[in-house]
Amino acid sequence: MLSATPSRCLATLVASPGSRQGKTVLTAALARRYFRAGRRVQVFKIGPDYLDPTILQSASGQAVYNLDLWMMGKDHCRTLLCQGAARNDIVLVESMMGLHDHEPSNARLARLFNLPVTLVLNVAKFAQTAAAVVEGMEKYGPGVSVDQVIGNRVGSNNHDRLMHEAIGERYTGSIRRDDRMILPERHLGLVQGPEHRDLDHRLDDMASALGEFGIDPGLREVSFSPGSPALPPEPRLAGKTIAIAKDAAFSFIYPANIDLLKSMGASTVCFSPLANDPVPSCDALWIPGGYPELHLGRLTRADVTRQSMQEFQGSGKPILAECGGMMALCNRITARTGEKGDGFALLDAECTLQSGFQSVGLQCVDYGQGEIRGHSFHHSVVHLKSAPSRFCTRQNGERGEAVIQCGKTTLTYLHHYFPSNPKAVAALLA
């Protein structure tokens, strides 16, 4: 249990003016540097994100938790930060998009929890203008404390000199244009950590490169208050076993979701559809999101998994399929290349990948037990042959993703954040 007194540790929020500035690269390099030095590092990622955390987990050596004031609530975020500070030497928080983007913004979270900000700027196309960017980011919206600024994609010693002169003493150093400081991407974002054959070597190189560039941020000690003690969730899933599809095709899982299932008394068992595993003996089945479109051949050949999933649905036990999980339960999936693959045919629908995002953003859904909050983030379209059972609601109040419910089977593009409503999650899976 947490102490009633605040927890203290070194901490910073790594932010930028927008995406593709170098936040993940810097956060991962710092985490690996501290990890190699024997420091205990807890990394958090602001916003709903499954991709960056896989890199940051490998860098820090432990699970990465998300922070989002709308999806999770202030008290839950405060508890996670306090726990991280109590158990670690350093807390690194990577923001999403730009410092003032998102609602509530990264800046608001930084101010709420007194997190100092480390700004990383991609200055490949400018130099002195960086000073104006920093000044504007400090003055706009919620006031934040920018402790230090790091330039990224700095091209020369003269470029580095100009940056130091423009920013002044808060300029901590320059990440040079170096292939070691690049992480590969695909259509939804960064390539996930487990897909890198050489990730440990790459992370070590990134950490070493920071030393070569002379970048050594001075982190400030922060005190994190535990806030109001949260009541432990009721054991609504006591004695239940939840089977979870988990492999390279189904990997979009919040660590906090697993934590909550276990805290409600459930045991979890994972299986791999890509390995053609049958559904294990269980009381409920959860098929999370991921990249089924990248593994159409193996999913088509997964006849044992397909038959066992169909038999499980026939048993009347609960199934929750989110985003990629729902895609995989369609009759067929068509990739952007035109490649087609067979799904597991629990949903009489066709799924087609599109060239751009079909939905991005925070949403919630009410199954009759109050809101479960989460997000959607996908390129595909599921062509339904029957009307949806209900719809999610976007953060702005507009109609969101469709929800299909057939008996105890629930399918939707929404990625549910289970701790946002434990009672509703238990009702969905019990």
**Does 4 score more than 70 pLDDT?**
no
Q: What confidence score (pLDDT) does residue 186 get?
A: 56
Q: What integer is the mean pLDDT of 43-70?
A: 95
**Does 319 score more than 60 pLDDT?**
yes
For residues 130 and 271, membership in a common domain is answered with: no
Q: What integer is the mean pLDDT of 124-128?
A: 97
Q: What integer is the mean pLDDT of 332-351?
A: 96
**Does 3 score more than 60 pLDDT?**
no
230 located within any domain: no
For residues 345 and 377, membership in a common domain is answered with: yes
Q: pLDDT tens-digit profile of 160-218?
A: 999 999 999 999 999 999 988 887 765 566 677 566 678 899 999 999 999 999 999 99
Alpha carbons 149 and 153: distance in angstroms, whole number: 13
Between 227 and 159, the more confident residue is 159
For residues 212 and 271, membership in a common domain is answered with: no
Last residue of a domain, one of 172, 189, 224: 224
Q: What confidence score (pLDDT) does residue 185 get?
A: 67
Give buried/exposed letters for 370-398 (b at 16+ CB in 10 A, else e): eebbbbbbbbbbbeeeeeeebbbbbeeee
For residues 257 and 301, membership in a common domain is answered with: yes
Closest C-alpha to 309, from 323, 329, 295: 329
For residues 290 and 144, membership in a common domain is answered with: no
Spacing of C-alpha 91 from chain mean position: 17
Q: Label residue 2 by pLDDT band (50, 70, 90).
A: very low
* Strand, coil or helix: 153: strand
**CB 62, CB 193: distance < 8 Å:** no
Q: What confidence score (pLDDT) does residue 275 get?
A: 98
Alpha carbons 391 and 237: distance in angstroms, whole number: 26
Average pLDDT, the chain: 94
Closest C-alpha to 264, from 399, 426, 406, 61: 426
231 located within any domain: no
Q: Label residue 385 by pLDDT band (50, 70, 90).
A: confident
Which CA distances in Å does 417 have to 78, 254, 388, 393? 16, 7, 21, 15
Supply the CATH number for residue 269's domain: 3.40.50.880
Which CA distances in Å does 333 have to 55, 190, 325, 326, 415? 28, 23, 12, 11, 20
Q: What confidence score (pLDDT) does residue 187 get?
A: 59
Q: Where are the beta strands (DSSP E) in 80-219?
A: 90-94, 117-122, 146-154, 171-176, 185-186, 189-190
For residues 264 and 143, membership in a common domain is answered with: no
Last residue of a domain, one of 224, 259, 289: 224
Give buried/exposed letters for 99-119 (b at 16+ CB in 10 A, else e): bbbbeebbbbbbbebebbbbb
**CB 404, CB 389: distance < 8 Å:** yes
Alpha carbons 430 and 426: distance in angstroms, whole number: 6
Q: What integer is the mean pLDDT of 376-385?
A: 94
* Stretch among 257-261, 309-313, 322-326, 382-386 having the lowest mean pLDDT: 382-386
Q: What integer is the mean pLDDT of 327-350?
A: 96
Annotated catalytic residue: which of 9, 77, 323, 351? 323
342 located within any domain: yes
DSSP 312-343: HHHTT--EEEETHHHHHTEEEEE-TTS-EEE-
Supply the CATH number for residue 74's domain: 3.40.50.300
**Does 321 score more than 90 pLDDT?**
yes
2 located within any domain: no
203 located within any domain: yes
Q: What confidence score (pLDDT) does residue 190 get?
A: 64
CA dihedral sign of residues 247, 253, 255, 256: negative
1 located within any domain: no
Q: pLDDT tens-digit profile of 420-430?
A: 999 999 999 99
Alpha carbons 330 and 39: distance in angstroms, whole number: 46
410 located within any domain: yes
State how many domains the chain has: 2
Q: What confidence score (pLDDT) does residue 28 get?
A: 96
Strands 330-334, 347-353: pairing kind: parallel
For residues 282 and 357, membership in a common domain is answered with: yes
Would you put residue 404 in left (φ > 0), alpha (ψ -120 to 50) or beta? Answer: beta
Which CA distances in Å does 228 have to 3, 33, 79, 98? 11, 34, 9, 30
How large is the angle between the packed helices 199-212 and 52-60, nearest 10 degrees? 70
Which range of residues forms the domain containing residue 331? 241-429
For residues 274 and 182, membership in a common domain is answered with: no
Provide the greatest CA pair distance for the chain: 69
* Strand, coil or helix: 370: coil
Residue 323 is a catalytic residue: yes
233 located within any domain: no
Question: How large a percentage of the chain has pLDDT more than 70?
Answer: 96
For residues 273 and 317, membership in a common domain is answered with: yes
For residues 310 and 216, membership in a common domain is answered with: no
Q: pLDDT tens-digit profile of 266-283?
A: 999 999 999 999 999 999
For residues 325 and 187, membership in a common domain is answered with: no
Q: What confidence score (pLDDT) does residue 362 get?
A: 97
For residues 152 and 16, membership in a common domain is answered with: yes
Angle at 197 between CA 63 and CA 295, to 5 degrees: 85
Q: What integer is the mean pLDDT of 356-378?
A: 95
**CB 305, CB 342: distance < 8 Å:** no
Q: What confidence score (pLDDT) does residue 181 get?
A: 83
Q: Label residue 1 by pLDDT band (50, 70, 90).
A: very low
Q: pLDDT tens-digit profile of 143-154?
A: 788 999 999 999
Alpha carbons 12 and 217: distance in angstroms, whole number: 10
Which 8-state DSSP code applies to residue 207?
H
Question: How large a percentage of the chain has pLDDT more than 90?
Answer: 87
**Does 69 score more than 90 pLDDT?**
yes
Alpha carbons 179 and 383: distance in angstroms, whole number: 42
Q: What confidence score (pLDDT) does residue 196 get?
A: 66
